[in-house]
Structure 1
Amino acid sequence: MTDAKPIIVLKHPQLGENIGMVARAMLNFGLTELRLVKPREEWPNDKALSTASGAIEVIENTKVYETLNEAVHDVHMVYGTTARSRDMVNIIHSPATAAHDIQEQHNTGKKTAIVFGAERTGLENDDIALCNALITYPTNPDFSSLNLAQAVLLMSYELMRSENEASDIKLKKGNNTPFATRAEFDNFLNRLYDDLEDKGFFKTEKMKPVMKQNIESMLVRMQMTEQELNTLHGIIAAMKRY
């Protein structure tokens, strides 16, 4: 069983102060692993440190990545937070149901991450396609905006509540096959795209990004094990021989 603590990932956070407040919110509820994707301001950041109000361990251990894919390379389940309705099909949770689902994922050996977008723009469609599931917040429709720290705080609270409720419940994996990490999935996805390109599957350059998003969104919901992913690699290899 993995450590039942999800990773918090901030994509393109704009202000050091916001990162510091996120770190404080995380540590309030026992979360300690923070990852940043291309923060706008230089990192390490003094403003983040000062607004963290004691959450020094979170700030000092924060890791920075160039892309979201790199930030979740070792993760099995990625949850994206969004306030907007999307055209792509995704599993959608409230913070409470997401927390319960994350607890179950940890109990079956999966490592998880929750991704928050930039303060003004949120996550882009490419980011959403990468996610296994989405989290939306039930807020007042006439005043629905949450700042970054608020969103992380609410999610962190639900995670601790779910963990406390499940503390006496022990589940075991149904098999010993490890789940595929995001890096392993990306490796397969890139191979699939290359082969589809060679076969002329992408009819127009204009439609290629949308078609890739649809393929990724469809496959990511399968939550494959390493064995299942290797089977798909084998299928592609066999098809190329004919």
Structure 2
Amino acid sequence: MNPAPVVILVAPQLAENIGMTARAMANFGLSDLRLVAPRNGWPKKGVREAASGATHVLDGATVHATLPEAIADLTCLFATTARERGQMKRVALPDAAMAETAGRIAHGERVGVMFGRERVGLTNDEVSLADAIVTFPVAADFPSLNLAQAVLLVGYEWRRAAGLARQPFTGATRAQPATREALLSLFMHLEARLDAAGFYPPEKREAIVRNMRDRLHRMSLTERDVRTFRGALKAIDGGAKHRPAEPV
């Protein structure tokens, strides 16, 4: 059994939304999907294509005739909604709700999060079965979320709360830093080429050389970088040697 919250979709209608929900769940390590009275039956045409490879979630999904049947084994249930229901229930944002969920699951509880119909969400009676409400900090003038988007946000906060949100890569270079010998060789090659091109005003040469070396040092060049620059300079040298003389 996957130690993660259960996702319950109440009367979902569109195959695309169910498939994208499965994809969102798989992105964040959720796998227990329960469908309550899906409109027009199950399975739905096109649902597997919408899942974009997350078919293991669909294959493990269970279908329930009623909501009480789908939540019978749960010890805690959250209801997602974008509007005030006038019910005396705790209301939490996804991060706080999933922090509570992680704590409960760590103590062996089964926690579920239910999501309503695409157009109208959950009914008040369905919300009344939940321990607490989860709502999203969306813009007040456009609070509606797509079903799969709502699942994605909850899944993201679950992964963070469970301590599983590890950065997958660092972006740090894998190449070896250039040695002093390689850098000095690059400096000499570059400076000789610039001397030959008449780049430096004689009275400013030393200051410009120092500034250029400082800039190259700040780049933290790798051995590969130095080889690339040296290769470019050699190509320029070769081009200069074979370039026809300009007419006087």
Is the partner of 2:162 in helix, strand or coil? helix
Q: Which residue of 2 aligns with 1:60?
A: 59
CA distance in 1, matches of 2:49, 2:31: 17
Higher relative contact order (CA 8 A, sep 6+): 1
Is the partner of 2:163 in helix, strand or coil? helix
Is the partner of 1:36 in helix, strand or coil? strand
Gaps of at least 5 residues in structure 2 are: 167-248
TM-score normalised by the chain length of structure 1: 0.66
Query: Structure 1 vs Structure 2: percent identity of aligned residues?
Result: 44
Q: How many residues are treated as equivalent by the alignment?
A: 166
**CA positional deviation for 1:165:** 6.6
Is the partner of 1:97 in helix, strand or coil? helix
TM-score normalised by the chain length of structure 2: 0.65
Taking the TM superposition and a 5 Å limit, the aligned residue runs for 1:41-60 are 41-60=40-59
Q: Which residue of 1 aligns with 2:142?
A: 143
**CA positional deviation for 1:46:** 2.8
Taking the TM superposition and a 5 Å limit, the aligned residue runs for 1:126-205 are 126-164=125-163
Q: Which residue of 1 aligns with 2:24?
A: 25
Larger of the two Rg values belongs to structure: 2
Q: 1:121-141: CA deviations, max 9, x gaps?
A: 111111111001110000011
CA distance in 2, matches of 1:3, 1:45: 25
Gaps of at least 5 residues in structure 1 are: 168-242
Question: Compared with structure 1, are the counterparts of its residues 97 and 107 closer, same or farther at alpha carbon in structure 2 (3 Å cutoff)?
Answer: same
CA distance in 2, matches of 1:133, 1:109: 19
Q: Which residue of 1 aligns with 2:199?
A: none
AA aligned to 1:113 is: G
**CA positional deviation for 1:67:** 0.7
Does the Cα contact within 8 Å between 2:80 and 2:134 map onto a contact in 1?
yes
CA distance in 2, matches of 1:90, 1:3: 28
Does the Cα contact within 8 Å between 2:115 and 2:122 map onto a contact in 1?
yes
Is the partner of 1:35 in helix, strand or coil? strand
Q: 1:88-111: CA deviations, max 9, x gaps?
A: 100111000001000111122210
Q: Which residue of 2 aligns with 1:77?
A: 76
**CA positional deviation for 1:87:** 1.5
> Which ranges of 4 or more aligned residues in structure 1 deviate by more than 6 Å?
none
AA aligned to 1:27 is: A
